[in-house]
Amino acid sequence: MRCPFCAHEDTQVKDSRPAEDGTAIRRRRQCAKCGARFTTFERVQLREVTIVKAGSDGQPQRREPFDRAKLERSVALACRKRGIGQEQIDQLVSGIQRQVETAGEAEVPSSRIGELVMDGLRQIDSVAYIRFASVYRDFSEARDFEEFASAVTEAVAARGPRA
């Protein structure tokens, strides 16, 4: 593993432990040249998955490799200032990644990823769910946001208090 500070290729693993409910291994490393310490994560990747993004305004569809970090950033942004821990975000992202990789498809539409995120956020926090949906569903007017938020509020009220 190359040192992110000095680019030296000789680093030593100082500590390894399970992370993200055993779906990843967290390794603390130290560079043999500059002595800097850094953390890496090792995860199982079942298959290469390509995300197919819908084209807009006559543009063709785009394809790009599945990027866990990008997914994690978008979920974390929706959960910002909501008291949702990084571990819960990691669990959600790991679950979505597992579903995508085990589906058996080499190409997955980005809309499927969006729906999986919305399903997960709906279970975790209604505000994070609404935040993500407002970007994902591209609300164009305040009325769209209001209607969606009202539907979520009704669903939460119907579900009752959580135990």
Q: What is the pLDDT along the chain (163 residues), one digit of tens a residue?
A: 899 999 999 999 999 999 877 778 999 999 999 999 999 988 877 678 999 988 777 778 899 999 999 999 999 999 999 999 998 999 999 999 989 988 888 899 999 999 999 999 999 998 999 889 888 777 777 777 788 778 877 877 777 655 4
Q: What's the half-sphere exposure (Cβ side, CA atoms, 13 Å) at 85?
A: 4
Residue 100 main-chain phi, psi, to 5 deg = -65, -45
| pTM score, whole prediction | 0.69
Pairwise CA distance, residues 76 & 15, whole Å: 27
Structural element, H or E, at residue 17: strand 11-19
Structural element, H or E, at residue 33: none
Q: Decide if 7 contacts 36 (C-beta within 8 A).
A: no
Pairwise CA distance, residues 141 & 149, whole Å: 13
CB atoms under 10 Å from CB of 94, counted, come to: 19
Q: At what angle do helices 110-124 and 68-79 cross, to 10 degrees?
A: 40
Q: Decide if 50 contacts 107 (C-beta within 8 A).
A: yes
